[in-house]
Structure 1
Amino acid sequence: MHKTELVDAVASAANLSKEEAHEAVTTILDEITNALSRNEPVNLVGFGSFSCRARAERSGRNPVTGAVITIAASTGVGFKPGKALKDALNN
């Protein structure tokens, strides 16, 4: 599902115009992004939780030349599905 399909589904389910649904979906995604950028976890009960995960600096190899390179430390996003989501996928 793409964002436009999600907007259409929200508009249909909530009886909103596509513009209102687009604004709602965009606002939700922006707030999740803002919370994660502040290193705050986002818990959506029944759906799952998003959290920041630190990746340490490590060495790797350039696949073309075989030279050893250093891969910089970074922060990624982790997602842990909630029980309701797991149950929905396994039924």
Structure 2
Amino acid sequence: MNRLELADKIAAEHELSRAQAARIIKTITDSIVTTVKKGGTVGIVGFGTFRQVSRVARKGRNPATGDAVKIPARKLPKFVAGTAFKDAVDPKAAARRKA
């Protein structure tokens, strides 16, 4: 499912136009990106958590030449799926957790 298909689904279920639904999706995604970019965390209960993680600088190798290269430190977004989301995708996961 892409952004337009999601907007169509939201529009149909909530009696909105596709444009209104698309603006809602844009507001949500922009808010998540802005918060995570500032180092904050966005948690949506039952869905998951978005946060920023830092990768330290390290040494690597150029696979073509074998030369050592420096890989700079960087910040990346990370999403951790919530328990309810995991259980919806894999119903057996809940049973394994209870065992």
TM-score bin, normalised by smaller chain: over 0.9
Larger Rg: 2
Query: Cα deviations across residues 1-44 of structure 1 (Å, max 9, x unaligned)?
Result: 21111111111122110000010000000000010011000000
Aligned to 1:17: 17
Question: Which structure's residues are more often helix, by fraction?
Answer: 2
Written as runs of structure 1 = structure 2, the 5 A alignment for 1:2-81 is: 2-81=2-81
Amino acid at match of 2:34: N
Gaps of 5+ in 2: 92-99
1:57-87 per-position Cα deviation (integer Å, ceiling 9, x unaligned)? 0111111111111011001111111111011
Residue identity over aligned pairs, in percent, reads: 37
Q: Larger relative contact order (C-alpha < 8 A, sep ≥ 6)?
A: 1
Aligned AA (1:21) = A
**One-letter amino acid of the counterpart of residue 30, structure 2:** D
RMSD (CA atoms): 0.9
- Report the Cα distance in structure 1 between the residues aligned to 2:74 and 2:5, rounded to whole angstroms: 31
Alignment partners' CA distance in 2, 1:18 and 1:32: 21
Of 81-90 and 41-50, deviating more is 81-90
Q: Where does the alignment leave 5 or more consecutive residues of structure 1 unmatched? A: none
Any runs of at least 4 consecutive aligned residues in structure 1 with deviations exceeding 4 A, and if so which?
A: none
Aligned partner of residue 86 in structure 1, secondary structure: helix
Equivalent-residue separation in structure 2 for 1:22 and 1:66 (angstroms): 47
TM-score (norm 2): 0.87
